[in-house]
């Protein structure tokens, strides 16, 4: 009997041992889970903060614009608030990085301040020239030059600063030379300047100056082409018109002539494809205001709106900028001249086409008054002009005239288009 009791008690002890072992194991597993989660959370917290710190440092060694004293203070406060959720080693690492960023931020603040008063401005060089004309390396060198003693990036910038000064001197000299050549251009002078421009290290600036020289070269070629020729510009107002303008364009194309169309914005809106075709054929297309109001009866703001609303639509349709417009009725005042950064185009010959129902008097007016360098006014909205145009072109060709656009005419006569100036032609 006693043996049975002892066996029973042994079985009970083993049972309780297993129960306690299971409970203890479960507790250990739960604790381990908590520790693992805590460890994962701490690593995640540290990783998030370190990633944010890393984002403030750009590849070129300079700091992101997002980094400010305020953002660093906020980050410091965040670290303090999450200190219990971070490992001590991570807190130390993050604190060191924040301190280093603060030092770099202070330094870059000083560097950026040099853009306001760059070293070279003391030598009469403008801030804009330093920003736009130099290579990036030279700009950085200038920014660092005032911090040589304490700037860790400033080692070896002396040669770059010297190079920057040399670049600016060469560029200033080139610009002076280009201005001089523009007054009396020759091909040899342009070619010599091209060689000098090719030496400029700033690619964007070199392209800009090369483009100027190319424009100057084209202008010289145009002047030489028409130096001993009679030339005239045909202009057409108030279109496009769905019935008549396509016939005008067809005649110009067939005759190999390019004209200048001063179109109304509301008409361009109604016939966008005609505007596109005019430009595609090589004709110039520019603003004649939106709906032909007399600009002198409008305020300065209203005048600007009338001119630019049409111009913006035309440029969108043609993809080309034409820096002039024609005021309706030829009426303008001082406000008209300053309303936009454009020139005004008048005319030297008025065919008075709107007065007639037949082509003969229109043709007579054009051919009788024709003279070299003239701007001839017609309209592409009257059927009479459709009939008169072929005869006018034929008659002018017989008189020895070549045909140019208004831009070409101004370039031949004046060299460049001046905003606010009124051009009448010769």
Quick one: pLDDT band at residue 32, thresholds 50, 70, 90?
A: very low
Catalytic-role residue among 90, 104, 133, 237: 237
Cβ atoms of 344 and 309 closer than 8 Å: no
Catalytic-role residue among 288, 292, 379, 382: 379
Query: What gap in Å lies between CA 340 and CA 225, rounded to an integer?
Result: 32
Cβ atoms of 356 and 378 closer than 8 Å: no
Q: Is 379 a catalytic residue?
A: yes
Q: Is the pLDDT of residue 365 over 60?
A: yes
pLDDT at site 185: 86
Give pLDDT tens digits for 273-324.
999 999 999 999 999 999 999 999 999 999 999 999 999 999 999 999 999 9
Cβ atoms of 310 and 287 closer than 8 Å: yes
Can you tell me whether residue 271 is helix, strand or coil? coil
- If you average pLDDT over every residue of the chain, what do you get? 82
Decide: residue 199, CB within 10 A, 0-12 exposed, 13-18 middle, 19+ buried.
exposed
Give pLDDT tens digits for 149-173.
444 444 445 555 566 667 777 777 8
Give pLDDT tens digits for 121-149.
444 445 565 556 665 556 655 555 544 44
Query: What's CA 256's distance to the chain center, in Å?
Result: 35
Q: Is 237 a catalytic residue?
A: yes
Give pLDDT tens digits for 167-214.
777 777 888 888 888 888 889 999 999 998 888 877 777 888 888 899
Q: Which of 297, 248, 287 is nearest to 265 (CA)?
A: 287
Lowest mean pLDDT across 6-10, 39-43, 81-85: 6-10
Q: Is the pLDDT of residue 223 over 70?
A: yes
What is the rounded end-to-end Cα distance, in angstroms, of the chain? 141
Cβ atoms of 205 and 132 closer than 8 Å: yes
Give pLDDT tens digits for 325-351.
999 999 999 999 999 999 999 999 999
pLDDT at site 2: 54
């Amino acid at each position: 009997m006693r043996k049975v009791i002892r066996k029973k008690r042994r079985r009970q002890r083993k049972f309780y041992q297993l129960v306690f072992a299971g409970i203890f194991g479960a507790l250990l597993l739960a604790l381990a889970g908590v520790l693992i989660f805590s460890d994962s959370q701490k690593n995640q917290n540290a990783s998030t903060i370190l990633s944010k710190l890393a984002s403030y440092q750009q590849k070129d060694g300079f700091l992101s614009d997002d980094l400010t004293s305020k953002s660093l203070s906020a980050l410091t406060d965040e670290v303090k608030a999450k200190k219990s959720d971070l490992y001590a080693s991570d807190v130390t690492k993050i604190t060191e990085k924040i301190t280093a960023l603060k030092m770099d931020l202070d330094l870059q603040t000083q560097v950026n301040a040099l853009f306001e008063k760059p070293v070279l401005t003391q030598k009469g060089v403008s801030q804009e020239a330093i920003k736009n004309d130099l290579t990036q390396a030279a700009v950085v060198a200038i920014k660092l030059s005032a911090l040589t003693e304490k700037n860790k990036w400033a080692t070896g910038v002396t040669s770059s600063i010297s190079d920057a000064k040399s670049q600016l001197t060469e560029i200033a000299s080139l610009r002076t030379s280009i201005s001089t050549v523009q007054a009396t251009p020759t091909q040899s002078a342009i070619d010599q300047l091209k060689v000098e421009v090719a030496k400029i290290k700033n690619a964007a600036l070199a392209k800009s100056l090369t483009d100027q020289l190319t424009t100057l070269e084209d202008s010289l070629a145009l002047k030489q082409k028409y130096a001993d020729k009679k030339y005239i510009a045909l202009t057409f107002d108030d279109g496009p018109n769905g019935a008549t303008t396509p016939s005008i364009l067809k005649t110009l194309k067939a005759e190999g002539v390019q004209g200048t169309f001063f179109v109304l914005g509301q008409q361009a809106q109604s016939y966008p494809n005609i505007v596109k075709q005019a430009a595609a054929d090589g004709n110039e297309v520019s603003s004649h205001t939106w709906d032909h109001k007399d600009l002198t009866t409008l305020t300065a703001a209203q005048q600007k709106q009338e001119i630019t609303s049409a111009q913006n639509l035309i440029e969108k349709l043609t993809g080309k900028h034409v820096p002039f417009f024609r005021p309706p009725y030829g009426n303008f005042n001082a406000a008209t001249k300053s309303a936009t950064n454009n020139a005004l185009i008048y005319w030297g010959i008025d065919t008075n086409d709107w007065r007639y129902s037949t082509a003969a008097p229109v043709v007579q007016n054009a051919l009788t008054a024709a003279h070299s360098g003239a701007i001839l006014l017609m309209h592409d909205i009257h059927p009479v002009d459709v009939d008169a145009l072929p005869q006018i072109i034929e008659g002018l060709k017989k008189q020895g005239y070549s045909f140019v656009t208004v831009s070409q005419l101004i370039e031949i006569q004046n060299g460049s288009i001046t905003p606010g100036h009124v051009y009448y032609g010769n």
